[in-house]
Each structure stands twice: as structure tokens, then as C-alpha cells.
Amino acid sequence: MSKKTVSIIGSGNWGSVIAKIVGKNVIDNPDKFERTVRMWMYEEMVDGQKLTEIVNTKHENVKYLPGVKLSENVVANPDVAETVKGADILIFVLPHQFVRPTCKHMEGHVKKGALAVSLIKGFAITEDGIQLISNMITECIGIDCAVLMGANLAGEVADEQFCETTIGNSDKKKMGKMLNDLFETSYFRCTVIEDIKTVEMCGALKNVVGIGAGIVDGLNYGDNTKAAVIRLGLMEMVEFGKIFFPGCKMETFFESCGVADLVATCHGGRNRMLGEAVVKSDKPIKELEKEILHGQSFQGPLVAKEIYGMLAEKNMLSRFPLFAAIHTICERKMDPRQFIDCLREHPEHV
């Protein structure tokens, strides 16, 4: 079989960690993968120098993953069309709001029969309703798309602390081994399953629940209350799957992409930090994002807003009070202290 060329689209906090893993794995599997991994970077200046140039000379993403070396075969490129040209595997890892415009620039440059793998936790809202980002990628660039999601806080994975992840794809027999060779390491254990939609839906929704966990931290409630947020959040995730993603498999919630990612995010995620900050400050989310994350991005508020709009349109908000309250609090239209009442009066308790 011919060697596969791998490109990465995105180079933020998680994107850079994945570049570290994939960069090493292609070197370790020279019979399976081409050595050079092109990585698309949204170009920006850092201390008067282009970030792509810094990455290609220092082999470190000094802005989004400082202190972590990438192997020299990871080559940053500011041109997305050039980055994807000829690639057999396209790893998508960027905040979900940028996917569609980024794909536009790839038109006519994507190799036929290539495979996309989305690590993006979010949804797209279209005229027809809610859409998985993997489906949007397929629609935009005409290739199949697998997903990889799990309890994977980027900083801990960069430090090589043991964790698990879930890869969802449509044909485990055909693709499973190759995906494992590309992503798995001794500290990053991959489980391949054939249930893309549940894997991806969990990844998007857990960021909303993570904000809720931060709100109870900000209100100085303890672990029991946070556990209630996690449980009620999980119940809403399951309900959301039943209604909007028929065929969603219950057992997938027990993979790393499900309960484990929910727990990790509710304890150590950026979205949890946001929830806490929302209680302690009255600044708008965008301002908090700049102050807390310095260029990185919270995905939870956008997902909360998107699903709130859709649920409101369908008159279904009362079935998802936790999701709805988190959005309303982020919009500064509800006092965060009312969040506890929302937990108390949750339909799970009637």
C-alpha cells in the first residue's frame, strides 16, 4: 500500500498537541506515512515575527503551546490550499466557527478519496437544523470524515500524562488500524468505534455542561453540586441525542468521548474556567475570553447559543433547562445564582 501524506488544518492549543503526536508517529511508521506533516496556521504576528516562521525555526508554537517541542518534520504553512494539496489524511482541529470559511479556501485542492478526521468540538446550525461538523466538512470538500474526541485536556496530553480517546469512523475494519497508527501513543490510548454521531455530539455538548460546572465553582458550591451538574448535563446530552441524532448509541456515552470527557472538562477545562469567571465578573464573554485565554477560544458559549436558538424555535427549551440556563447566564440575562434553582427544579426530579 502506498504511504499516506498527512496534513493538519489548525494549530491552536489542541492542534499543536496533535501535531506533536502525529509528527512523531509518522516518523515511527516510515513504511505507512510520508515524513513531512504540513500544518496550516492562521497567520499572525508574535513579537514582530510571523508565527509560521517561529514554528518552522524553533519547532515550538510559542503562542498556543509554549514550552513544548514539535518534531522538525511538522511544517507550518499559512496557505490552506497548499497545506491540503495531495494529502491523504486531513486532520481538522480548529474552533468550529472557522471551519466553513477555511474549507472554502480548499475548494479544488483536496485529493479525491482522501479522509478527513475532525477533532472539532462543536456544531453547525443550518437552515435545515443542527449539523455535525464532520458532515459539514464532507459537504464542503466532498470526502468522508472520521472524528476523534475524548477526555483530552491539551496541556495534560502535551505533558504525556496517560489518557484515552475515542475515534469514530464508518469502517473500523478498513480504517481502524491506520487511524490507530496515526494517533495512538503509550500515553494516548485510542479506541475505534463505528458511531461517529454520538462521539461528536458528546464532544460538542460537554463544553456547555463544563460552563455549568464552573458556575457552581464560582458560587462556592462543592463537589456534590458539581456532580449534580454533571449528571443532569449528561441526562440532557442523552435526551438531545435521542431527539436530534436518532440511532445514537447509549454505550458510546461510556467511552472516553462521553462521561470521561464530561468529567475532565467539568474539572479542568477552559469552559469551566469561563463559568467561574462569569459568576465573579460582569464582563462580557468576549472580554473574558481575551483576558483568560490570550487568543485561544471557549467553544461552550457558542454551542450553547446555537442549541438555545434551535430549541427555542422548536419550543423545546423546557426539556433542556440546564443548557438553556447556561446560555442565558452567558448572555447576562440571568443571575448565575439562579442556576441552583434550575438544578433543583430540573424535570429529572419530577
Ligand X SMILES: O=C(CO)COP(=O)(O)O
Ligand Y SMILES: NC(=O)C1=CN([C@@H]2O[C@H](COP(=O)(O)OP(=O)(O)OC[C@H]3O[C@@H](n4cnc5c(N)ncnc54)[C@H](O)[C@@H]3O)[C@@H](O)[C@H]2O)C=CC1
Active site positions, annotated: 206
Give Dmax over CA atoms of the chain in angstroms. 60
> Is there binding between residue 83 and ligand X (CB under 6 A)?
no
Of the pair 260, 324, the CB lying nearest ligand X is at: 260
Segment 288 to 347, residues that bind ligand Y, using CB under 6 A: 295-297, 299
Of the pair 11, 83, the CB lying nearest ligand X is at: 11
Of the pair 165, 169, the CB lying nearest ligand Y is at: 165
Write a three-state SS string for 159-189. Answer: CCCCEEEEEECCCHHHHHHHHHHHHCECCEE
> Is there binding between residue 207 and ligand X (CB under 6 A)?
yes
Query: Alpha carbon of 240 to those of 163, 193, 220, 230: distances in Å?
Result: 27, 20, 29, 15
Segment 176 to 205, residues that bind ligand Y, using CB under 6 A: none
Q: Of 15, 95, 168, 210, which lies in the binding site for ligand X, with binding defined by CB under 6 A?
A: 210
Cα gap 240→205, rounded to integer Å: 9
> Is there binding between residue 346 and ligand X (CB under 6 A)?
no
- Taking the complex as a whole, the smallest distance from the CB of residue 254 to ligand X amounts, in Å, to 16
Of the pair 4, 121, the CB lying nearest ligand X is at: 121
Q: How many residues does the chain have?
A: 350
What would the grid cell of residue 264 be?
475532565
Is there a contact between 252 and 193 (Cβ–Cβ < 8 Å)? yes
* DSSP result, 75-109: EEES-HHHHHTT-SEEEE-S-GGGHHHHHHTTTTT
Is there a contact between 250 and 257 (Cβ–Cβ < 8 Å)? no
Query: Alpha carbon of 109 to those of 8, 76, 99, 259: distances in Å?
Result: 14, 18, 16, 38
Is there a contact between 163 and 275 (Cβ–Cβ < 8 Å)? no
Taking alpha carbons only, the member of 34, 35, 32, 40 closest to residue 56 is: 40
Range in contact with ligand X (rule: CB under 6 A) among 217-225, 261-269, 280-288, 324-332: 261-269
Q: Of 7, 26, 38, 95, which lies in the binding site for ligand Y, with binding defined by CB under 6 A?
A: 95
> Is there binding between residue 121 and ligand Y (CB under 6 A)?
yes
Segment 110 to 149, residues that bind ligand X, using CB under 6 A: 121
Of the pair 76, 228, the CB lying nearest ligand Y is at: 76
Q: Out of ligand Y, ligand X, none, which partner does residue 265 contact, by CB within 5 to 8 A per kind?
A: ligand X
> Is there binding between residue 261 and ligand X (CB under 6 A)?
yes
> Is there binding between residue 73 and ligand X (CB under 6 A)?
no
- Taking the complex as a whole, the smallest distance from the CB of residue 128 to ligand X amounts, in Å, to 27
> Is there binding between residue 106 and ligand Y (CB under 6 A)?
no
> For binding to ligand X (CB under 6 A), which residues are involved?
121, 151-153, 207, 210, 261, 264-265, 269-271, 299
